[in-house]
Structures are given as C-alpha cells and as structure tokens.
Amino acid sequence: MDCKISEPVVGPRSEDYLPASVSTAVKVVIVGGFGVGKTTLVGSVSEIRPLTTEETMTQAGVGVDDVAGVERKTETTVAMDFGRISLSDELVLYLFGTPGQQRFWFLWNGLFEGALGAVVLIDSRRLDDSFDVIGRLEERGLPFVVAINAFPDAPSYPMSELRAAMDLPDDVPMVDCDARNRASSRDALLTLMRYLYTLTTTTPEQPR
Ligand SMILES: Nc1nc2c(ncn2[C@@H]2O[C@H](COP(=O)(O)OP(=O)(O)OP(=O)(O)O)[C@@H](O)[C@H]2O)c(=O)[nH]1
Ligand SMILES: [Mg+2]
C-alpha cells in the first residue's frame, strides 16, 4: 500500500517544524462513517502536508462496502489520515482521521490510543451510519463533539431533531461544519477543545 501526500516530497518546509513555544500537544481523532468528509477535514485544516492513505475503490468492494448515498466516491481511506494544527503559540493538535469503511474499523483501537477526544463527522442524509460510531466512542469513554458536515442536497434538520435522532446527551456539543473550509473545520476542533476543558473543570455531582 502506498502512502500519498498532497505534494512531492522536497524536504521539510519551515512550517513542518514545531515552534519552540509549543508546550502542549493533544491527539484528537476524526471519526465517522464512510465518506462523511474525514480526509477532507484533516486536509483543509492541517498546517503541514497531510498524510493520507487513499486507495482507489474497485469492483472487489462491491457487496462488501456499503456505498449507499456515496455511489460517486472513487477513493477511500484504508489506514489513516494525519495532520497538525496549532491553536495557539503553545497548543498544537495532532489530527488522526480514521478509515470509514467498516472492514477497516479494527484499526480504530490503535488510532484511539492516547487520544483525548474525537470529532464525529455526520452526514445528515445517512444518520444511521453514525450510531455504531457514537456507540464505539461511548464504550471507550472517549469524549466527543458532533459536527454536521454540510453536503449540498442534505436536508436541513434543526439541531434538536438531530440530537434526538442520535440519542445524544444534552451536554455533547453539536456544530455545523463544512469540512472543505479551513475556518469551519477549525471551529469544530475548537468546540472539542472547549468541551474537553469544561470536562476537566466541572466537578461531578456528589451523591446526596
Ligand atoms: N459538499 C461537501 N462535500 C464534501 C464535504 N466534505 C467532503 N466532501 C466531499 O465528500 C467526498 C468524501 O470525502 P472524504 O473526505 O473522502 O470522506 P471520508 O470520510 O474521508 O471517506 P472515507 O475515508 O472513505 O470513509 C469527497 O468527494 C469530498 O469532496 C463538505 O463539507 N461538503
Ligand atoms: Mg477518508
């Protein structure tokens, strides 16, 4: 399997180096069902050349991969995406995108190792795909936020309806997102970081 990067390798660029001011690095995973925009998000927001592991989808996947709703997709992530974004002079996030095809989900355990939180990308046309994803995060106890990725023909549901449909607890943040847009993707990551911060500063209610 070849790893592709978006530009030919010509040696490290100045932005590839971490500034000396960085004191905190946080690992975050970008998860979601097949074709919800995980690779797009990591690529749009990363300040370094993102690592991707896209492979062409072939006839071999017919009957194995569920491509309902994303029939026009030609490539898929077979291992992971990797990128990096600095949120301030001191704080850097390392982004790991997971593969969406169910047959590669066994890789998730390794990718989740050491992660502090996750952004769950959702395509509101294919909500069913998100149930297993959210269930896995809940099983692992990994905090997450939900980002509704804006696909052009996706019906626009109120957040409250989507929350109810996904059976999400009230405290789990939800945001609209366009994974192709750097600022929008960054906002989704900031929402996760704010949520992680509130979790560390909120004391659990004491039993009476
Ligand atoms: N309109 C629109 N299209 C998007 C958006 N995000 C991704 N896409 C398109 O959706 C398709 C799938 O995006 P990917 O980033 O490959 O999705 P993925 O979740 O990484 O897919 P897998 O790794 O195969 O599960 C691509 O053709 C993207 O250009 C978005 O926010 N809006
Ligand atoms: Mg992908």
Q: Output the domain CATH number for residue 149.
A: 3.40.50.300
- Which residues contact residue 86 at a Cβ distance below 8 angstroms, ignoring those fewer than 6 apart? 19, 22, 47, 92, 93
Distance CA 141, CA 131 (A): 15
Closest-CA residue, ligand 1 atom 10, reads 37
Closest-CA residue, ligand 1 atom 7, reads 37
Closest-CA residue, ligand 1 atom 29, reads 40
pLDDT tens digits along 49-102: 999 999 988 776 666 666 666 767 789 999 999 999 999 999 999 999 999 988
Asked if 131 contacts 166 with a C-beta cutoff of 8 angstroms, the reply is: yes
10 Å CB burial of residue 94 (0-12, 13-18, 19+) is middle
Angle at alpha carbon of residue 15, lines to 144 and 184, rounded to 5°: 35
- pLDDT at 6 (0 to 100): 57
Q: How far is the CA of 204 from the centre of ligand 2 (A)?
A: 36
Mutation choice for ligand 1 from 6, 29, 39, CB with most ligand atoms inside 8 A: 39
pLDDT tens digits along 145-156: 999 998 988 888
Q: How far is the CA of 136 from the centre of ligand 2 (A)?
A: 18
Whether 138 is covered by a domain: the verdict is: yes
Closest-CA residue, ligand 1 atom 3, reads 151
Q: How far is the CA of 92 from the centre of ligand 2 (A)?
A: 22
10 Å CB burial of residue 102 (0-12, 13-18, 19+) is middle
Whether 78 is covered by a domain: the verdict is: yes
Distance CA 176, CA 183 (A): 12
Containing domain of residue 100, as a range? 20-60+70-199
Q: How far is the CA of 96 from the centre of ligand 2 (A)?
A: 10
Whether 2 is covered by a domain: the verdict is: no
Whether 83 is covered by a domain: the verdict is: yes
Whether 31 is covered by a domain: the verdict is: yes
Whether 127 is covered by a domain: the verdict is: yes
Distance CA 76, CA 168 (A): 28
Among 147, 142, 120, 114, which residue's Cα sits nearest to residue 133?
120
**Ligand 1 lining (C-beta closer than 6 Å):** 32, 34-40, 73, 76-77, 99-100, 149-152, 178-180
- pLDDT at 53 (0 to 100): 94
Q: Give 55's Cβ-side CA count (13 Å radius).
A: 16
Whether 6 is covered by a domain: the verdict is: no
> Ligand 1 atom closest to Cα of 179?
31
Q: What is the DSSP string of 117-145?
A: EEEEEEEGGGTHHHHHHHHHHHHHT--EE
For 120, the token pair is: 């769950």
Q: Could you give the number of structural domains in the chain?
A: 1
Terminal alpha carbon distance of the chain: 57
Distance CA 187, CA 44 (A): 12
For 158, the token pair is: 């109120």
Q: How confident is the model at residue 176 (pLDDT cuts 50, 70, 90)?
A: very high
> Ligand 1 atom closest to Cα of 72?
27
